[in-house]
Structure 1
């Protein structure tokens, strides 16, 4: 923030807030037996505090790989990822991932123990404090009555609620969700979307969410990044904060979904950036 004088009046210039998460020209690659394949090509975007930012694209466009790179599991081949201005180099408790798979909960631990486990492992809280926080978030997702149950007794939707409670209990700077509702039936998926948005309304956490469903992106996201088919390149970034679950039947919602589909699939596709580095590998 700076001050200047203009026409005798003192003006205060307010700088825009710094993004919480910055993905800057990030290319990601994976190696096969024959070659190195580029998953994303020079992708850039910013996520601000309390954003619901959605990565949307067809299967194979690298959106889940991007999420794993933000989590610190995959190093960029080029470019940089920064959280609070610091370069992401490894996984950390400031970024917690909720995966699509239902079996992400250790089956030998109760629901409450599953939520407490990362809190105790990170040495953030004492056992009583971890227990209190676990119950707080289990109550938020409507599972306080199942605290002593084991994962095998829960439905798929209930397991995902436990995973969300466990992630939120860590109070990460960014909650990362990799198609968390994709394997659920339509009714359960809608209910989970409702519950996620209600939790966001209450807690105001920052969300980075991956999906290949246009309708889900419009409902869950306040901003949507469109990625091209493989390799993932940025097609566009759209605001979607004015949509909600109640908007789905409206003409405006259907028009937006159709427009996104056209932008994803009918725009000219750039040639694949797949690199055969056999010669380079053989030169070492």
Structure 2
């Protein structure tokens, strides 16, 4: 199998698969000069291979902190995180993060050099194989014609595509995206959501995606974990596979978005919302 095709292969086994990512009772804390602040409290969830799993919650609920813990940048004060059965204790090439800020692209490197850089720095591939794989993923995100361009010449949406291509070129076990489209204008953000879903249809990578937008969560995710306001606790897990960009504006989509809002902010209405939504589509956590 060549450098391009290796990894991101669909499983043909009919056997049920174990969860790829297991987050078990994870509490995360950080220190201020005055005190210790708890960001999340005993959060548990599982992500299966090829899932598009979304962490959804209001600002300050700890969802980005949780993503950083999965990446290995932060250690839990309680609980554990396992990827493919191995405990996460530090960053690794099996987890690649795409952040909101696209100044993560070194400005002195061309687009193709940016995509190749982690492959070479980690010694994952030698230069000829890294070049081949970089070209492959630039073609997937529609930027082959801009391979020799520099980041300062690109639009925000194009920089986002480079960041995604660079991450996927590493062929991680799981792609971590921390509000990657939040800095983009509305039209570009919608286009990037569409392109991300098209890319997932073709490559079938596993995605853990952070957002505070209910609509984006329903469009991007096939499963959504709802986190309460600070400190983040699991409110519910929702199966959202039936929604996509074509669902926007539909009555069912809008009703579900409104009910998710109530689940996030109106704790007393959880039982009523559970009755309104299909029981098979939602699991209330409290």
Shared fold (TM-score, shorter chain, > 0.5): yes
Task: Tell me, in whole angstroms, the C-alpha distance in 1 between the residues paired with 2:196 and 2:138.
Answer: 13
2:91 is the alignment partner of 1:91: yes
| Deviations 1:188-227 (CA, angstroms, capped at 9, x unpaired) | 0000000000000001000000000000000000000000
Match of 1:115 in 2: 115
Match of 1:21 in 2: 21
Match of 1:277 in 2: none
The 5 A counterparts of 1:1-284 are 16-268=16-268
| Deviations 1:226-273 (CA, angstroms, capped at 9, x unpaired) | 00000000000000001000001110000000000000011159xxxx
Q: Helix, strand or coil: the match of 2:123? A: coil
Question: Could you tell me how far 1:122 is from its partner in structure 2?
Answer: 1.3
Structure 1 runs of 4+ with >3 Å offset: none
Task: Tell me, in whole angstroms, the C-alpha distance in 2 between the residues paired with 1:252 and 1:169.
Answer: 37
Root-mean-square deviation (CA, aligned residues, Å) is 1.2
| Deviations 1:41-61 (CA, angstroms, capped at 9, x unpaired) | 000000000000000000000
TM-score by length of structure 2 reads 0.88
Task: Tell me, in whole angstroms, the C-alpha distance in 2 between the residues paired with 1:249 and 1:27.
Answer: 37
Question: Unpaired segments of 5 or more residues in structure 1?
Answer: 1-13, 270-284
After the TM superposition, which of the residue ranges 30-39 and 260-269 deviates more from structure 2?
260-269
Task: Tell me, in whole angstroms, the C-alpha distance in 2 between the residues paired with 1:41 and 1:265.
Answer: 17
CA distance 1:15–1:117, change in 2 (3 Å):
closer
| Deviations 1:56-98 (CA, angstroms, capped at 9, x unpaired) | 0000000000000000000000000000111000000000000
TM-score by length of structure 1 reads 0.89
